[in-house]
Chains A and B, each alone.
Chain A
Amino acid sequence: MNATSKLALACLALATAVVVAYRVPSLADHIQDDGFIYFRIAENAARGLGPVFNPGERVDAATSPVWMWLLAVPARLGVSLDVAASLLGIVAAFAAILLCAFWALELGAAASAAASAAALLGALLLAVDDRFLTYAFSGMETPLCALAWLWGVRALVRAWIQRLPTRGAGWWALLAALVRPEFVLLVVGVGLVAMVRRSARPVDLMRTLLPALVVGVAYLAAHTAYFGSPVPNTWYAKKASDWAHARIGLSYVAGFVRGYPWVPLILAAVFIRSLRAVGFAVLVALLLFVAHVVRLGGDHFEFHRVFLHVLPLAAALLGASAARVAAAPVVWRGVALSAVGLAVVVHAGKPRVQPRAFEWVRHAARLGATLAQTYPADTRLGLFAVGATGYTSGLPVVDALGIADPYVARRDLSHEHVCHLDIGHERGDPQYVLERADVVVFFAAYAPVRFESLDEIRDGFYSHKKFVAAAKEAVANGAFVLRNIEFGPGAYWAVLERRSS
């Protein structure tokens, strides 16, 4: 890397650090419900109870084992997990942005100041976008995944497409797959392009991957031995494969492109001769991933979270393309690039995270603390959002949506009503929950007044709607009663409480 590129990278690093520091007060305290799921599992692991949500129940509710074990370390040391997870998130997001810029400078072979500045475009888009940064404070693995996947793809592209000396590409791929297993799709994508373009033979691919495959298979065997299944429970809970989901998935992808309008610009890479091979490899890998997301029907989380995992990859390709365009001594290209670059940066920099974002999660956490004081330690909670309430209550949980429950996770999908709000949270069995839980917390059923009847509890997820119908029957036959839990002054949450016999 030349001196100009090093200077550009250092400038970007400082600018990103300033943005992060500036945004800490507004984005911190935004732990999302799934972040709290990791917290509970990590604390159980740190206490020697195993990497499980409910001690004694061997269910893998953590999609990312690497993130969970990373959190288990501060948990073991007694560090508060909200701070630790946010710090790790900041470091991962910062590193992902820098790596994105670094790879763009590398691929773009930026020699001039203009080309170096243009190469930073993708990384800058990530740095100014609060949708990307807010996940650093979510308690979830998103920024770590973005970093690990970018690192893994870069290693594979260097080894298989560019034929550059690369150490440990297979190991990086394994690590990326342990951060989130869908990385396998990106490996397949890059491998396919390498074989089609004959930049690597199948034997080369195997040579890269074999050690990692051996360890990966050993990991899966150990996972199966411990949990009874090679894949996390979340895979069962969220899997879908039908036209209704695919249609929602397609609309999810369209929404992503509308929300991040710079993304289609990465197609420019295949029109630039020097980037064509890398561009094809990254694009095919991304296409496989997009197809997987479409099949599932998209994702439930805000800001197209599932695509944030691959956003730095796209941003690196955009930066590299911009650098190649800027390197050409053609005035109109430089002017067009500046105009487009400015427009997309301004668009990405629009504030989108609202000041009261994810407030229901904070309320759910306060509710958990109140429930822990209200009920005995062996009370089983039935929850539709297991994270925050589950973590702060510390009580055993029946997961009504199946993320942490293997029985519910394997129920058939409801085909009566499929919509984007429910994606990944569609399974349920009201009777199962009513038989096992002593107290069932209705989903986001809080108000500044007491709930007088179950009619005031509106639909949350569709399976919650079905549960409310079953709950009415349970109240009518006297097995359960509606109760209001005052989890703050003048703040009430409706729960269903089993009548003591």
Chain B
Amino acid sequence: MTIHASPRRLTLIRALWLATFVVLAAAGWRLARIEWTYRSPSAPLRIEDRREHRFRDLTWSQAEAVLNRLLRQAYAAREPRERALALARVASLQRERGLDAAANAAAREALQLSRNDPEVRAILTRTLRSEELGLRAAEGQR
């Protein structure tokens, strides 16, 4: 069954479609004015250090998310020991990724905070377990 529209409603529907095409045309116009950074040599480059491209089976951004979470834990820690543990995890992660300078810096700070703690030392000498990495990272772009 077809219910016919009243003239006023028909005008409204037509106006909506007209507006739709105007907005789509505007989208096309905006697209045509986009600067495509890959083909513009003057566009600024933000280069990550991809010498540590792949960490286990995580995407780049998942690995970065894990690192950032561990760093946040370290800086949010109130107790020196708590911070030392978090920094030791950062050091272990960075060493496994092949970033020795970053790993050494984090390890040094962890040991300064809690030199004789056996747990801190243990983390520094082993690789992190999956549950310590908090894997189930959100989707991210490589």
Interface residues of A (CB under 8 A from B): 1-4, 6-7, 10-11, 13-14, 16-18, 20-21, 24-25, 28-29, 31, 80, 82-83, 86-87, 90, 94, 111, 259, 302-303, 352-354, 356-363, 365-366, 369, 388, 392, 419-421, 443-449, 451, 455-460, 488-491
Contact of B49 with A29 in the complex, beta carbons under 8 Å: no
Contact of A21 with B140 in the complex, beta carbons under 8 Å: no
Minimum CB distance partner of A13 in chain B: B20
Interface residues of B in 23-78 (CB under 8 A from A): 23-24, 26-28, 30-32, 34-39, 41, 45-54, 57-61
**Shortest CB distance B139–A (Å):** 6
User: Which residues of A have CB within 8 Å of B2?
Assistant: 1-2
The 8 Å CB contact of B57, one of A6, A353, A361, A421, is A421
Q: Is B142 an interface residue (CB 8 A)?
A: yes
User: Which residues of A have CB within 8 Å of B57?
Assistant: 419-421
Spot the interface stretch: B3-11, B79-87, B114-122. B3-11
The 8 Å CB contact of B37, one of A18, A362, A490, is A362
Interface residues of B (CB under 8 A from A): 1-6, 9-10, 12-13, 16-17, 19-21, 23-24, 26-28, 30-32, 34-39, 41, 45-54, 57-61, 97-98, 138-142
- The docked-state distance in angstroms from the alpha carbon of A451 to that of B19 is 54
- The docked-state distance in angstroms from the alpha carbon of A356 to that of B4 is 49
- The docked-state distance in angstroms from the alpha carbon of A11 to that of B30 is 22
Q: Which of B35, B45, B48 has the most CB of A within 10 A?
A: B45
User: Which residues of A have CB within 8 Å of B9?
Assistant: 3, 7
With contacts A21-B24, A491-B45 taken as known, whether A357 is within 8 angstroms of B141 at the C-beta atoms is yes
**Shortest CB distance B69–A (Å):** 16
The 8 Å CB contact of A445, one of B50, B58, B97, is B50
Contact of A446 with B3 in the complex, beta carbons under 8 Å: no
- The docked-state distance in angstroms from the alpha carbon of A25 to that of B31 is 7
User: Which residues of A have CB within 8 Å of B38?
Assistant: 29, 31, 361-362, 365-366, 388, 392
Minimum CB distance partner of B98 in chain A: A458
**Shortest CB distance B136–A (Å):** 9
Known: A3-B9, A357-B141; 7 extra A-B contacts, CB below 8 A, are A3-B10, A7-B16, A10-B17, A25-B30, A29-B34, A302-B141, A302-B142
Contact of A363 with B47 in the complex, beta carbons under 8 Å: yes
12 A-B residue pairs with CB within 8 Å:
A3-B3, A3-B9, A7-B9, A13-B17, A14-B20, A16-B20, A28-B31, A444-B53, A446-B48, A446-B50, A455-B98, A488-B45
Minimum CB distance partner of B27 in chain A: A21
- The docked-state distance in angstroms from the alpha carbon of A10 to that of B98 is 55
Contact of B23 with A21 in the complex, beta carbons under 8 Å: yes
Q: Which of A94, A352, A447 has the most CB of B within 10 A?
A: A447
- The docked-state distance in angstroms from the alpha carbon of A111 to that of B2 is 10
**Shortest CB distance B56–A (Å):** 9
Minimum CB distance partner of A137 in chain B: B31
Contact of B34 with A458 in the complex, beta carbons under 8 Å: no
Contact of B141 with A490 in the complex, beta carbons under 8 Å: no
Contact of B12 with A7 in the complex, beta carbons under 8 Å: yes
User: Which residues of A have CB within 8 Å of B35?
Assistant: 29
Q: Which of B31, B35, B39 has the most CB of A within 10 A?
A: B31
**Shortest CB distance B98–A (Å):** 6
- The docked-state distance in angstroms from the alpha carbon of A79 to that of B126 is 55
Contact of B45 with A444 in the complex, beta carbons under 8 Å: no
The 8 Å CB contact of A10, one of B16, B28, B37, B46, is B16
Contact of A358 with B47 in the complex, beta carbons under 8 Å: no
The 8 Å CB contact of B52, one of A2, A356, A458, A490, is A458
Contact of B5 with A6 in the complex, beta carbons under 8 Å: yes
Contact of B53 with A18 in the complex, beta carbons under 8 Å: no
- The docked-state distance in angstroms from the alpha carbon of A29 to that of B32 is 11
Contact of A21 with B12 in the complex, beta carbons under 8 Å: no
| Pairs A-B, 9 closest by C-beta atoms | A3-B5, A365-B38, A357-B141, A10-B16, A21-B27, A2-B3, A17-B23, A488-B45, A419-B57
